[in-house]
Amino acid sequence: MKKKMWAVLSAVLCVLFLSSCGMGALARRAAQEIRAGQTEASSVTDADGNTLETRFFGIYTVPAGWTEAEELSTEEKWFYLKDGTDSSSPTSNISVEYGTSRYSASQHEAFREAIVSQLAQQSGITALNGTGTYTDAGDILYIFTIENNDGTTTVQYYIVGEKEYVLVHATDFHDKNVPDLEDTANKIAYGFEWA
């Protein structure tokens, strides 16, 4: 017990030291790794078929009828497909991704401007609309709808945390067999809660 307390205390002191030395990105990564060790990933499906996903950064619910595409997912980005769709060809999908940023939660407007600036530099975008709101848990949520010249639509939901964010990204290839893409992405984003 004393060894575990000493290890946690040492890790916290290390994070504080690194952040005070101007090494914020390294400190955030260390904090992320500490949280990752404390929160084991899990997926629990309820009687209605909804899946509660627990990740090192938070929890979210994937509505019934959607399944993780493990062949596409990575350690920091998880893809979900409508049941019955084929991942070997382009199909509408939703991904959930964790990332860090240099912006605190109180600097959310600067974070938003950085996203808009990045999107404005991308080629192939024919229309860009954005709005801001809150998740059900009260966190800042920015939503960007992007029309692309290849006929696809992407909706990006940025949930703003303390020098971190979660991006729920819905890519719509306008498949007739995936009519609930945006509604599903909305439910994941609005229902998200930080760990």
Within 10 A of 20 (CB to CB), how many other CB atoms are there?
Answer: 10
21 and 100 share one domain: no
106 and 146 share one domain: yes
29 and 75 share one domain: no
172 and 115 share one domain: yes
Whole-prediction pTM: 0.81
Q: Tell me: the pLDDT tens digits for 153-190? A: 999 999 999 999 999 999 999 988 899 999 999 999 99
At position 135, the amino acid (one-letter code) is T
163 and 129 share one domain: yes
33 and 67 share one domain: no
Of 33-37, 42-46, 105-109, 126-130, the least confident: 33-37
For residue 126, give its domain range: 41-194
Furthest-apart CA atoms within the chain: distance in Å: 59
128 and 46 share one domain: yes
| Averaged pLDDT score across all residues of the chain | 85
- The length of the chain, given as a count of residues: 195
Cβ distance 170 to 154 under 8 Å? yes
131 and 56 share one domain: yes
33 and 91 share one domain: no
How far apart (Å, rounded) are the C-alpha atoms in residues 155 and 142?
10
Which helix (H) or strand (E) segment is 191 a member of? helix 181-191
Q: Tell me 22's DSSP state.
A: T
Helix or strand or coil: residue 79? strand
Directed axis angle between helix 2-20 and helix 24-38, to 10°? 160
102 and 83 share one domain: yes
- Between 33 and 113, the higher pLDDT residue: 113
The CATH code of the domain that includes 183 is 3.40.1000.10
Note the pLDDT of residue 86.
Answer: 85
61 and 149 share one domain: yes
Indicate the number of domains in the chain.
2
110 and 176 share one domain: yes
Note the pLDDT of residue 177.
Answer: 82
Buried b or exposed e, range 78-108, using 16+ CB within 10 angstroms: bbbbbeebeeeeebbbbbbbbebbebeeebb
